[in-house]
Structure 1
Amino acid sequence: MICFNDYFNRKNLYCFNNCWIICAPACLVWTGLTHLDQWPDWFHGLEKIQPSAPIAFLQRGQTIELSIRGHLPYSLKFEIIVNDFIEYSFVSFTVTGDLNGEGFCQLLPSEKGSTIHFTWNVSPARLWMKMGASIARTVFIKNHDQIVEHSINGFKQWISEKSIEVALPGAVGLGRF
């Protein structure tokens, strides 16, 4: 059985490597990425986020339960365990559950604000996803890409709103009497 699982995990490995430029300072981008209570504001498809401890931000050793749903008729439930954490620049994690693997996120200052590099290497754990990958792989990838695209657009909008709040302290709520 172990050989069977190893074979299908290798065959079904999905490697995503994304890079985004966010027009905001790295400290603000880092806050949005690492403060878990902010994720529902911008993370498209996020159904559940539950940290293992009542801590509102990512840190080394933390476990977070997630449930995410894209355009396909199922949700993926998994845990991420934060392995490495360098404030304002890097986080790596292990993924277990409906997806197994690893990922990392690196944040770098850039001329236009900040650059996010995100790598996600996972294999599905559900048997039907493993067995159907030869037929549905492109559909799974498209679903992932849509979730990411909507989420990064939501993040950019969230950052834009936060940037205005930072630039104009106290201006939030003006015009509301």
Structure 2
Amino acid sequence: MDAANRYRLTTLWLVDAPRAAVWEAIVQVEEWPGWWRGVERVVTLETGRAGGGLGTRQRFTWKGALPYRLSFSSCVTRLEPLCLLEGRVEGELEGSGRWRFGGDGGRTWVRFDWRVRTTPAWMNRLAPLARPLFRWNHRVLMHAGGIGLARRLGTRLAFQATWST
């Protein structure tokens, strides 16, 4: 597998809102299209244990600033309420995503780690040259997510950054 097709991306948001409110907004993924620009569709394929916990599978369709869409399914593999949400993804992206939450009082930090590889042949052919654009597109989507989350919660996004390793 070509390293150009693999992505290790991390986003950090600092939101002026209680952790419970931030957690609820993130775990209610079917509502993301209403507040996260770039999330076109989320469909629950299978409800996991405890009505939405481990084993829940959803199908996502994303559209960033570039003229393409990506679809993939995600299955929740680890869940620690108010602290951690992990999942495996497959489809046009394959790998894993991990949401971590921290902070106290009225300020919450959210860290999202995305460790994926692309599967569409056209992306893989272009990756050696277009990789910086694909990373930029991810940053655009995550920026929109942070702004949308803050708006949804009626607060402000105090800080955000996205980087690749």
Q: TM-score range by the shorter chain?
A: 0.7 to 0.9
User: In structure 2, what is the equivalent of residue 30 of structure 1?
Assistant: 23
Q: Quick one: structure 1 residues 136 and 96, their matched pair in 2 at CA, closer, same or farther if it must change by over 3 Å?
A: same
3-state SS in 2 of match to 1:132: helix
Unaligned runs of 5+ in 2: 156-165
Matched residues in 2 for 1:108 and 1:80: separation? 23
Q: For residue 58 of structure 1, report the CA deviation from its aligned partner.
A: 4.6
Q: Provide, for residues 108-154 of structure 1, a one-character-per-residue CA deviation record: whole Å limited to 9, x for no partner.
A: 12465111011001110011111111110111111111111012101
Moved over 6 A (4+): none
In structure 2, the CA distance between the partners of 1:138 and 1:58, relative to structure 1 (3 Å rule), is farther
- Normalised TM-score (structure 1): 0.80
Alignment-mate amino acid for residue 76 of structure 2 = V
SS of corresponding position for 2:141: helix
Relative CO higher for 1 or 2, CA cutoff 8 Å, sep ≥ 6? Answer: 2
The 1-side partners of 2:14 and 2:24 are apart by: 16
Number of residue equivalences: 153
Write the letter of the residue equivalent to 2:42: I
Identity within the alignment, %: 24
Unpaired segments of 5 or more residues in structure 1?
1-6, 162-177
Whose Rg is larger? 1
Q: Do structure 1's residue 90 and structure 2's residue 84 form an aligned pair?
A: yes
More strand per residue: 1 or 2? 2
Q: CA RMSD in A?
A: 1.7
Q: What amino acid sits opposite 2:36 in the alignment?
A: F
Give the TM-score normalised by structure 2.
Answer: 0.86
Q: Is the 8 A contact 1:35 1:58 kept in 2?
A: no
Distance, in Å, in 2 between the alignment partners of 1:110 and 1:14 is 31
Query: Are 1:26 and 1:108, in contact at CA under 8 Å, matched by a contact in 2?
Result: yes
Task: Write out per-residue CA displacement over residues 146-177 of structure 1, whole angstroms, 9 at most, x where no aligned residue.
Answer: 1110121011111116xxxxxxxxxxxxxxxx
Match of 2:95 among 93, 101, 126: 101
Distance in 1 between the 2:141 and 2:84 partners? 22
Query: Per the alignment, in what secondary structure is the counterpart of residue 94 of structure 1?
Result: strand
1:48 and 2:41 correspond: yes
Q: Equivalent residue for 1:172? A: none
Instruction: Find the counterpart in structure 1 of residue 158 from structure 2.
Output: none
- Cα distance change, pair 160–97 in 1 and its aligned pair in 2 (3 A): same
Cα distance in 1 for residues equivalent to 2:112 and 2:52: 16
1: distance between equivalents of 2:110 and 2:52? 16
Matches within 5 A, 1:19-168: 19-53=12-46, 58-110=52-104, 113-160=107-154
1:16 and 2:9 equivalent? yes
Q: Which amino acid aligns with 1:29?
A: V
Secondary structure at 2:153 match in 1: helix
Q: Distance in 2 between matches of 1:152 and 1:143?
A: 14
SS across alignment from 1:52: strand
